[in-house]
Structure 1
Amino acid sequence: MWVDVFRAAVVGGDVPYDRLVDRLRADHEVVTFGALADGSVDDYYRLREGDSTVTSRAALAAAISAGRDSFDLDHVTTDAGGQAVNAARQAAALGDDVLLAGHLDHPVFEFTFDVEAVSMGSPARVTVCLLDDDDVMFVEESTDLADWTVADLRAALSESLESFLERDALCCVNWASTPGLGEAMREMAARDPDGGVLCVDPGPLTVAGARDLLAVLRTLGDAYDVVLSVNEDEAARLGEAVGEPADEPTEASVLDAVRTAADGTSVVVHGEGAAVAATPAGRITVPALDVSRGPTETGAGDRFSGALARSLAADWDWALALAAGNACAAHYVSGRGTGTRSALPDHVETHRPP
């Protein structure tokens, strides 16, 4: 279990980013990292209306409202995706010992990245329409993922289930698309592993789904250091679920209510301007790096969660772990791909907040 040493908000960000650069350039202890249980084949497209590229959600909505009922798709690229996949790629890029248990039965996973992985079935298929303000995704769900249980995980693993559950860091993700994940997490808690950091990044939540998730998180606190990692939209759904709706979902009253409902779980919101954590020791805020948006932001939050989980498991303090998450997300958002331990220091020094 980690010890919290930051008990107030970090102002400005100079200290964590200075220390992050030093830590990334130093020798490091390898973290054992696990990720489960999704996977997707992501097809990226530009959306075209006649001879014009549709560049924003507003433009798309206006075209539909005006009666446009067909658009052309210009294929850009196809990549291995899924929240667990993205988190695993980030931990591997930081030099950790990674085991990914996902739904990876597709050739794209054989060539895209070098991570030890086991597959539990077919991935989802995701069409990503690239827009300047925020991508739009259309998902063809995987029936294998819809039917997934912890028994499938046990059968697929290259090590014992107990060893996997006791890795230094686990990213347990995509609650929204994995119906069996709640029962699997309850079984994880019942096994009472000697667990490390369990980072839960649920994906897009409904209010009802948020309530169910919080109930499950209450069972896990004795087995893991649980961290709930969400974006601002997901934080808003959690706030509604605990009776604290707010225009600003990172307000202290909202996050404290979510923490209480999850029996003291730490809550992290990775927003565009800053990462905000509500922890047993207090509230910590680390501003984001100052980067221009590249082709897509899809997958940046997953890389944040992967970096956050492995950093906390490596006994980095909260400010440093949030800075690492921000740096990895920003590297990806800027169009430079998954940030490696060697590439990130220069990126941080170039784009640190003013």
Structure 2
Amino acid sequence: MLTINHNESALKARRRLNQSGGILRTSMERLSSGLRINSAKDDVAGVAIADRMTAQIRGLNQAARNANDGISLAQTADGALQETSAILQRIRELAVQSANDTNVGTDRASLQKEVGQLQQELNRIANTTAFNGKNLLDGTFELQKFHVGANANETIGITAGNTQATTIGAHTVRAYTTSGSGGMSAAVTGAVASATNNATTSGTLKISGALGAADVTVYAGDSARDIAADVNDKTAQTGVTAQAMTQLQLTASGGGASGGTISFTLRGQNVTDSSTITQDVKISYNLTASGADGSGDDAALAGLAATINSYTGTTGVTAKLNEAKTGLILEQANGYDIQLTGNTDST
């Protein structure tokens, strides 16, 4: 005959022993780690909260390191700018010295040679100042972002200007007309005000240089290239040279932006070999702007700029976003005029 023998007291004691062992292991785990929650079984909600806070802490720690990198970058640029400032002070000192009529042409020519060497040093500093392979002072460091927060879009934007000798203090001839300064709000909503006329008016520029002074006559409708050529015709008398570059800025204005197809004709002049070819290109782009603050969608504007740049080989015109990302800057590096005509929209 079969019988089942059991000892209920022993079974209870064993179960209690196992429970005590589990409690002991949990206590030892907490003692060794110093944490109340070591796994989800300790506190499910607590684990979720702890993970979120851990992500925040690690993000802030990395943001602090990013900020320190940004500070190092700024210090690198600052050191170069201090040297640039010293060079500019020396150039100004030489200019004041040259302005004294006790100097003769030979003296001023010698002073100009030193200025030329200082300009070369300015260009060297601008072209070689870099941080982690990125040039800082040659005009290419634009709209860069430092991520200084634990979450998305917690950034600081920075743009460093061009400190080359050909850019610092460059004289700019500006012309404004009603037709040439149409609001980019029109462009963002599908229409661009025409910019067909060169608004340069007649006048005289007084040029004073190391070798002397001369008057340059500017005629109505002259392009920047024409004016620069006239200045360079007087170089033998003044020692001054000029380089022309034409920019057309389209800026956003008005209340908000909406999608639509924008079309216009871009006229530019491209230089090939010794000839100059005037080209008209039809630009058509579907905007998808959605901004509510009048600035439009920078991605849409960047797309329009890319479309314009796809024809640079034909027109000689390049486009880029302005610093505030509220419009476009069209540029003709050789100083020829830029014209916008035949504007239509489907908004």
Q: Same fold (TM over 0.5)?
A: no
TM-score by length of 1: 0.23
TM-score by length of 2: 0.24
Choose between structure 1 and 2 for higher RCO, CA contacts under 8 A separated by at least 6 residues: 1
